[in-house]
Amino acid sequence: MNTITPPRRIVVTGHPKLLDSLEESAAISAYIKTKGLEAPPFGSLYDEKIRKRVHAGEFDLLIAVGGDGTMLRAGHLCAPHNIPILGVNRGRLGFLYQVEEGGWQSMIDRLLAGDFWVENRMMLNAEHLRAGEKLGSWSALNDAVVSRGALLRPIHVKASVDEQYLTTYVADGLIASTATGSTAYALASGGPILPPELRNILVIPIAPHLSVDRAVVLSEGSTVSMTVLTENAVLSVDGQIPVGLAEEDRVDVRAGEDTVKFIRFGDQGYFYRNLTAHMNVNTTIGLPR
């Protein structure tokens, strides 16, 4: 692996609801200090003082200690500022991680020696439109999902790709996913797993009823439009609080301008090794996001 310029302005963050996450963050900060650097600030990923310093561009690396949900939130925070993220897994699944609990000392040594590479992952931009007016816009690392609301009945969603009609789904919902999200909700809905640095959008129905039941991988640069043809629908971006959708509302999803940068070590086969280790184990119950 080629040696590249190592980061020197580091911040260490943890998830406040994960056991010992903040303690681990403090330990990582103290360890970095033993390597001759100033001890990085550490604290909760949701600490407003830390977040303001990230927005101000004071750091060239954020270390996130937690689960996959923590990495999602770190991605949203860091991507607009091109700040790479090193994740230390204290959760139970860890599709987005390479550094496991208890093994971070050697990885910190490699990081400070410049023995790493940067993996770039596409984000999505999702826009909520009503009668041509934009009501909201969001960035997503995993997915944007149009799904049924509180009523237990399927919804009708018309899907178009680059303004060309694709099909109308009768389903519990429709997922527009990144390659990163292909190991999340899209995977649970029967979708394919995409290599992480692909810049294609994956479209997959949720529990389709007498309609198309196959996932579609769009060409790079394509936009998918999801128009709700019934009531009782919501939009959720990266699993956040859903937004209500009215009949004829449209959600446009395309590649976003921001890219999430993850610090990686060794060869690129890490993704498949990590994937294989988790494929037959569901350990997410009770995991804070």
Q: How far is CA 46 from CA 14, 27, 29, 59, 67, in A?
A: 9, 19, 18, 16, 14
Which amino acid would we find at residue 93?
A: L
250 and 134 both lie in a single domain: yes
Q: Which residues pair with 174 in a beta bridge?
A: 146, 205
Provide the pLDDT confidence category of residue 1 given band limits of 50, 70 and 90. Answer: very low
List, in sequence order, the alpha helices (H) in the chain: 21-34, 48-55, 68-78, 104-112, 185-188, 270-278
91 and 129 both lie in a single domain: no
Per-residue pLDDT of 44-80, as tens digits, reads 999 999 999 999 999 999 999 998 899 999 999 999 9
Q: Establish if 224 belongs to a structural domain.
A: yes
> Cα-flanking dihedrals φ and ψ of residue 27, to 5°?
-65, -40
Q: In terms of pTM, does the model score above 0.75?
A: yes
Least confident window among 94-103, 111-120, 215-224: 94-103
191 and 243 both lie in a single domain: yes
133 and 244 both lie in a single domain: yes
Of the candidates 20, 47, 60, 68, the residue annotated as catalytic is 68
159 and 246 both lie in a single domain: yes
Per-residue pLDDT of 154-187, as tens digits, reads 999 999 999 999 999 999 999 999 999 999 999 9
Average per-residue pLDDT for the chain? 92
Q: Establish if 130 belongs to a structural domain.
A: yes
Residue 227 has pLDDT above 80, yes or no: yes
164 and 243 both lie in a single domain: yes
Per-residue pLDDT of 255-271, as tens digits, reads 999 999 999 999 888 88
140 and 223 both lie in a single domain: yes
Domain hosting 64: range is 10-116+265-278
Taking residue 232's Cβ as centre, other Cβ atoms within 10 Å add up to 17
133 and 246 both lie in a single domain: yes
CATH number of the domain within which 202 lies: 2.60.200.30
Per-residue pLDDT of 193-203, as tens digits, reads 999 999 999 99
Domain count, the chain: 2
Answer yes or no: 68 catalytic. Answer: yes
Q: Establish if 289 belongs to a structural domain.
A: no
Assigned token pair, 255: 């590649």
269 and 251 both lie in a single domain: no
